[in-house]
A and B are shown apart, each in its own frame.
Chain A
Amino acid sequence: MNLGARRMATAKSDDEAFEALFTAEYARVVGIANRVLADPHEAEDVAQDVFIDFHRLHSATAQYAPAWLHRAAAHASLNRLRGARRRQKREVAQAAEEGDRTLDPQKQLEVNEDRRQVRHALGRLAPRPAAALAMRASGLSYAEVAQALGVGIGQVGTLLRRAEAALRKEVTRGTSN
């Protein structure tokens, strides 16, 4: 590649940078929201809102862009989870989609109830532990979670533990044996 071509490749316009950022991060942002909401369609709604807000206020070339998107996805979806308006709808969708065919019907009912409870509890958790858990569960590394929340990597374990201990308390059946 000659110098001119290289310069053209690196000197992207902001729109191109945004497209590149979108392509690289969209699936991950949806993944975080889906982990919280257990509803792929709603997760995409959240992700698109997050990208629109990002583009309106920030430059896609900003170093903090991925961390910002991850954090926004976690908080945005947790906020939706807290909205009572859609709770019922979600539970129906969740029960239909998450059926684990290997379990007997009684056991299946219990697992579904636990899953419902755990999301309900997730919405009541303090924002940071809940966000840490959502991001980590959707596959972000400890370093990425730390960056998104603006904490040291050593604190991520503490946040996760806090979230899991709180959720564990809420769910008594199915996991207590």
Chain B
Amino acid sequence: MAHLTEGTLRRMVDDPDARSGADAAHLEGCPECQAQLKAVGEDARSIASLLAVPEARVDVGRAFERVVNNRKSLPALVRFPILRPSARPLTLAFVAAVAAVALVVVAFTFAGLFYNPTTVRTVPVTVADMQALSQLADYGTLTWTKEPQLQATTSAADASALAGGLKPPVVSKLPDGVSTTVTYGAMSEAVASFTFSAEKAAASAAAHGKTAPKMPAGMDGATLTITVGPAVGEIYGELKQPSGSDPSQINLPQLVVAKSVSPTARSTQVSVTDLENFILAQPGISKELKAAINAIGDPSTTLLIPVPVEYATSTQITVQGVDGVALGDNTGVGAGVVWVKDGHVYVVAGSIKRDDAITIANNLK
């Protein structure tokens, strides 16, 4: 039997469950592993003593009150957590995911959908591909050269002003059951730079126990400049937290209609082909995703929408005379339509039927 791995030995230090079976039998008769176990155990103990802290004494009742009061003062959804640059820890994960998606998008489109910040259901992606892609965010440094300003308002004019004059699209007829209460949302143009670092890529991959594929020549230190927005949109329905406990319904507004200037991405040092090959060479990218991406005819003009396969279905449709994508079904649980026309990305989504979403999309002014 081969020697025990350091991970196995580490667990033997302080998990009694690990000290049984074949591993334990091997340890019994292997002086080398015993010596290694001792060294691993010493490291564990010395680090534990350095991490030791005085216990925090908490008053759970008072803390609960504070949290409940704070929670009530926050409007749900309106905070646009996904793109907030001064993000708190939870939202940093989203920013990382957005950055990762941006890299993919960049590889295949210079005039396509960047991300859809109002469709709540596409965010909690737990697919292995997303995990593999999200690691790409560790392969360099993302900095905002122009931070997006986000605003929710009851005035279409205010929203338009923040979005550099972009007018919110107008829905000609709402489907039955959709509230006429409308909130306007706006995002100013934002510019982010992502600088690749071969050193960070290697360190990140190593930390995940993987080997990063070699960066193409010129990519180390290369900068991608990504421009998003401005964008405006309307959110129909009450923005209150639903009282039910069905997590799929939480924070999902009845209907969101949004319009954004098509994002762009530029790099003077990296070619699209290099970037595409590099991304597809990442460990953990599924065969299906590779095949789908390779099947795309012209990557520089093709719109790419990350759809979590376990949760959503999509079909290609025609909207306003151009190609579009419809997501979801006719159960009314959730559906969306995305298309690009005249330099703008449009999104219609909500807890409506897919056919209704398509009708709204076709009649959007």
Contact = CB atoms under 8 A, between A and B. Distances in A.
Interface string B5-17: 1111111100101
B63 interface: yes
A164 B54 contact: no
A157 B53 contact: no
Given A75-B93, A142-B15, A161-B7, A35 B247 contact: no
A158 B50 contact: no
Interface stretch (B200-208, B330-338, B341-349): B200-208
Interface string A84-116: 000000000000011000000000000100110
Contacts of A161: 6-7, 9-10, 40
B207 A158 contact: no
A111 to B, nearest CB: 8
Interface in A110-139: 111, 114-115, 118, 122, 125-126, 128-129, 133-134, 137
A97 B55 CA distance: 11
A128 B67 contact: no
Contact of A59 (B40, B43, B54, B247): B247
Contact of B60 (A23, A46, A122): A23
Interface in A25-61: 26-27, 30-31, 34-35, 38, 40, 43-44, 46-53, 55-61
A6 to B, nearest CB: 19
A148 interface: no
Contact of B245 (A19, A61, A115): A61
Interface stretch (B70-78, B103-111, B302-310, B313-321): B70-78
The size bracket of the interface on B is 35 or more
A30 B43 contact: no
B88 A49 contact: yes
A171 to B, nearest CB: 7
A165 B43 contact: yes
Contacts of B15: 142, 157
Interface string B164-202: 000000000000000000000000000000000000000
A82 to B, nearest CB: 10
Contacts of A40: 54, 56-57
A125 B90 CA distance: 18
A76 B88 CA distance: 8
A44 B58 contact: yes
B47 A53 contact: no
| Central interface residue in B51, B203, B209, by most chain A CB within 10 Å | B51
A4 interface: no
B128 to A, nearest CB: 11
B311 interface: no
A158 B6 contact: yes
Contacts of B241: 56
A56 B251 contact: yes
B89 interface: yes
A171 B50 contact: yes
Contact of A48 (B46, B55, B66, B246): B66
A108 to B, nearest CB: 14
B244 to A, nearest CB: 7
B18 interface: yes
Contacts of A48: 63, 66-67, 70
B268 interface: no
B56 to A, nearest CB: 4
A26 B90 contact: no
Contacts of A50: 89-90
Contacts of B142: none
Contact of B89 (A23, A27, A49): A49
15 contacts: A14-B245, A17-B245, A23-B60, A30-B58, A44-B58, A48-B63, A52-B71, A53-B90, A59-B250, A128-B208, A157-B7, A157-B12, A161-B7, A164-B40, A168-B43
